[in-house]
Structure 1
Amino acid sequence: MEITLDKHSANQATIKINLKESDYQPKVDAKLKDYAKKANIKGFRPGKAPLGMVKNLYGTSVLVEEINTILGESLNNYLKEQTFKILGDPLPVESNEENIDWKKQKDFEFDYKIGFVENIDLPLDAKIKATNYSIKVDDKLVNETIENLKSQYGNSTNPEISEAGDNLYGDLANADSTWSKTLTFPIDKLTKKLGAKFIGVSKDAVIEFPAKDVKKAQWEEAFGLTEEELAHVDGELNFTVKNINRTEIAEMNQEFFDKIFGPDQVKSEEEFIAKVQETLQVNYNKEAALFTEEELKKSLVEKANLELPEAFLKEWLLKANQGKVSAEDVENEYPAYARQLTWSLISNHLATANDIKAEHEDVIEKTKQMVREQFAASGLGSQMEDSMDMFVDNYLKGEEGQNYMNMLTSVQNDKVLAMVKEKLKLKDKEISIDEFKELLEK
């Protein structure tokens, strides 16, 4: 057997495997003899059929099976010896296999395309610039949040006459009544000029207005219309009011406090304000930490400057997901896949270089934290603690064990990023929520 490697670019190559008869025939002969001992062929007692007949019946299939086994083992062992990192799986060059004459050929040649990256060089030095962001929860943000909560948790009423801030429920129709839709919309989502037509109206009122008075974005934002439905909204329209919905601003009392944080968690307006600020700070600390890590990943990816075998990976993704994705799907999703793959390579490199390992205990603890956060969001956190081990076990066994592997990767990433932060000594920067939103939009 002869295996050769032909690197025809910085990250793609062809592996050629040449097999001679002596490489496979002893195993084929042994398998056929074993078949002959067990074969049940009409006209012969079990195990007594002539070897020549067994070869005629099973020879080709046994030959193909044994050669494929030899190829798989040889290719895997060869790739393990290489210093570069293989990406995806080797792709057989199909034209070679199509021309094989399994009955007459003695020597065989097989070609495989591979994609790879060479050794990653990523020193963690001062050249990598990164920032540790924190978000300041100021009085303005706290007050806005409280006002939103008061609106959200206020009592709902159905007044006789509409006012600004109300939601109207009814039927929207075109002038000739060939199309209509029952919907609810907030008056404040319309322009001031158009919104005025819907203020001071009562149930059963019919408001007429031209479609051109509604901005294009408002058809979706206010009325919730789809692109298909937009084809019907042209010329004169009318809206028949069926009901008026109003949410009164909630009062700052114990009932309101209990709705937000649970019974007797806070007992005064001062405690409520402090609790809102604390909750906002915890949530924004998480968002800032995630943003910091994503920006740090971008810096590391840029510094590593890995060149991926794009053509190979696209071909591999298409074949590996045969029937599930199209070439167009691969083309559209490739940038996101490439970013994730690049980070995965960097994370693995840094973990190996710094002896970082994701332990089973780490996986269990991270999964527990995830479960706690999920149940806390539903208000059931404390009630589920006694059943925590069961929830964790069921989750980690899910998706045929893939959940466990995903969590293992997540733990490694956490440890790698913590190590990088410590070595690079990130520059601290406190920003407002508005500044944070601007960063997210970039």
Structure 2
Amino acid sequence: MNITRENIDALNAVVKVDIVKEDYNDKVEKILVDYKKTANIPGFRKGHVPMGMVKKQYGKAVLVDEVNKLLQDALNKYLTEEKIDVLGQPLPKQQDEINWDSDSFSFEFELGLAPEFSVDLNSKKAITHYNIVADDKMIDEQIERIQNQYGKITSETEVKKDSEITGTFKNEDKEIDNTVTITLDKFKGKATEKKFIGAKPGDVITLKTKGLYEDDHELMNALKIQHDDAHGLDIEVTFTINEVNSREAADLDQELFDKLFGKDVVKSASELKAKIKEDAEKQFVQQSDQKLLNDVTEHLVDNTKFDLPAEFLTKWMQVAGEKEMDEATAKEEYEKSEKSLRYQLIEGKLMQDNDLKVDFEDVKTNAKNMIKMQMAQFGQLNPSEKELDDIAARVLGNQDEVRRISEQVVSQKLLDLYKEKANIKAKEMSYDAFVKEVYGDKA
């Protein structure tokens, strides 16, 4: 067997594999001898079929199968030994009908080669890493929500200024039918509030959606509609009042603190504020880190320049899936996936250059930490190692879960790398300010 490579350019090559009779003959002969022992051909006893007849009936099929196996094994071994980094899979070149009566065969494969490039983490323009803090306003609002949530509810016969009103928004044309609990202070205009004051359970109030709330996101939640549908929505909806309640806020006492955090974990209003601040900012770290990861990823894709074998990859995508695509569809799919492919290559380069690896212990540790967090949510704060190992073993028995957790581990390793080596500037702000700066009106 002889394998040669011709580089067309930096991103494309053709590999030629020449196979001669000596490469496959012994294997083919052995298989045919085995067939001879078991062949069931009318007129001959089992095991006594002439070899000539066996070859005539099975020889070509066995030859084709063995040559294809040999070809794939040889090609994979060659790519590994030569350390050729390919994109997609080798594509067999079109050739005239193969003469399987010949003793030797030649096959050619097109290769799409991975580009050579470097990744510079130390960009000229610094990337912002937000330090999100829970300000007094947020903490006070959270305490107020807690007091209301655990407060005493009293049923009322009519709506007052501070009532909680449970009812259903409806509009048949837009298929709106959503039951919510609202308070009058959320509405934008005093005219809307006046419509509700004095209303009773069973009353139906007609409202205009335009200008109903100060923020369209409030409207989106109230009507349970899509984000884009809420902006500029100008229709009439009805609100049928189901219940009217008043709520007396719970006292900030030890009974409430124990309900929230367990006995004597929090012992005063000031400790409650500190605990709420701590818990909120832990959650903010996840959002801040995800934002940083997204921003660095975006920066690297936009600023790490290299070419791809686009023509080869488009051709490969035509035949790689379960169903073949036509050329136009494959081109469209390639264009959609190009950015993702670029980042996969950048990610691989960063992992290689910085000796970042993900092994099974990393995946197992991550899975156990995830399980501990989930168990803590249900009050199981101190699970044993055996318990965690047993649950992790069941989780990691699912390959989809292994893949998902592995991706999380990779993301965390890259995030740590970015924090260490990328040009990052810290910026402290409240959560509301973060949402406004990062998402604008799309939060």
- Answering whether residue 218 of structure 2 is matched by residue 221 of structure 1, we say no
Query: Which residue pairs with 1:122 in the alignment?
Result: 119
Contact 2:176–2:224 (Cα < 8 Å) also in 1:
no
> More deviation in 60-69 or 183-192?
183-192
| Identical-residue share of aligned pairs (%) | 31
Instruction: Indicate which of 159, 164, 167 corresponds to 1:166.
Output: 164
Cα 1:276–1:386 change in 2 (3 A) is: farther
Cα 1:238–1:431 change in 2 (3 A) is: closer
Query: Which residue pairs with 2:435 in the alignment?
Result: 437
Residues of 2 paired with 1:410 and 1:213: CA distance? 42
> More deviation in 78-87 or 218-227?
218-227
> More deviation in 79-88 or 47-56?
79-88
> Could you report, residue by residue, the CA deviation over 1:263-288 in whole angstroms, capped at 9, with x for unpaired residues?
43212211111111111222222332
Query: Which residue pairs with 1:141 in the alignment?
Result: 138
Contact 1:15–1:112 (Cα < 8 Å) also in 2:
yes
Structure 1 unmatched runs, 5+? none
> Could you report, residue by residue, the CA deviation over 1:228-249 in whole angstroms, capped at 9, with x for unpaired residues?
x99xx99976554333355554
Query: Which residue pairs with 2:200 in the alignment?
Result: 202
- Give the Å deviation of 1:50: 1.0
> Could you report, residue by residue, the CA deviation over 1:156-196 in whole angstroms, capped at 9, with x for unpaired residues?
44321124563332584769xxx995734636565534454
Aligned pairs for 1:36-435 within 5 A: 36-93=36-93, 96=95, 100=97, 104=101, 108-122=105-119, 125=122, 127=124, 129-163=126-160, 166-170=164-168, 172=170, 181=177, 183-184=179-180, 186=182, 188=184, 191-192=188-189, 193-194=191-192, 196-208=194-206, 220-224=220-224, 238-244=238-244, 247-310=247-310, 312-313=312-313, 316=316, 319-322=319-322, 335=336, 338-383=338-383, 387-399=387-399, 402-404=400-402, 406-408=404-406, 410-424=408-422, 426-435=424-433
Q: Residue type of the partner of 2:392? A: V
Q: Residue type of the partner of 1:70? A: L
Contact 1:190–1:218 (Cα < 8 Å) also in 2:
no
Cα 1:63–1:115 change in 2 (3 A) is: same
Q: Residue type of the partner of 1:186? A: I
Residues of 2 paired with 1:103 and 1:248: CA distance? 89
Tell me the secondary structure at the aligned position of residue 264 of structure 2. Answer: coil
TM-score normalised to structure 1 length = 0.78
- Give the Å deviation of 1:139: 1.8
- Give the Å deviation of 1:66: 0.7
- Give the Å deviation of 1:64: 2.0
Residues of 1 paired with 2:176 and 2:8: CA distance? 63
TM-score normalised to structure 2 length = 0.78
- Give the Å deviation of 1:65: 1.0
Residues of 1 paired with 2:318 and 2:42: CA distance? 45
Cα 1:253–1:302 change in 2 (3 A) is: same
Cα 1:424–1:376 change in 2 (3 A) is: same
- Give the Å deviation of 1:361: 3.6
Contact 1:60–1:102 (Cα < 8 Å) also in 2:
no
- Give the Å deviation of 1:136: 2.8
- Give the Å deviation of 1:23: 4.4
Residues of 2 paired with 1:405 and 1:234: CA distance? 45
Residues of 2 paired with 1:262 and 1:331: CA distance? 57
Query: Which residue pairs with 1:28 in the alignment?
Result: 28
Tell me the secondary structure at the aligned position of residue 396 of structure 2. Answer: helix
Structure 2 unmatched runs, 5+? none
> More deviation in 119-128 or 263-272?
119-128
- Give the Å deviation of 1:51: 1.2
Residues of 1 paired with 2:125 and 2:82: CA distance? 30
Cα 1:128–1:301 change in 2 (3 A) is: farther
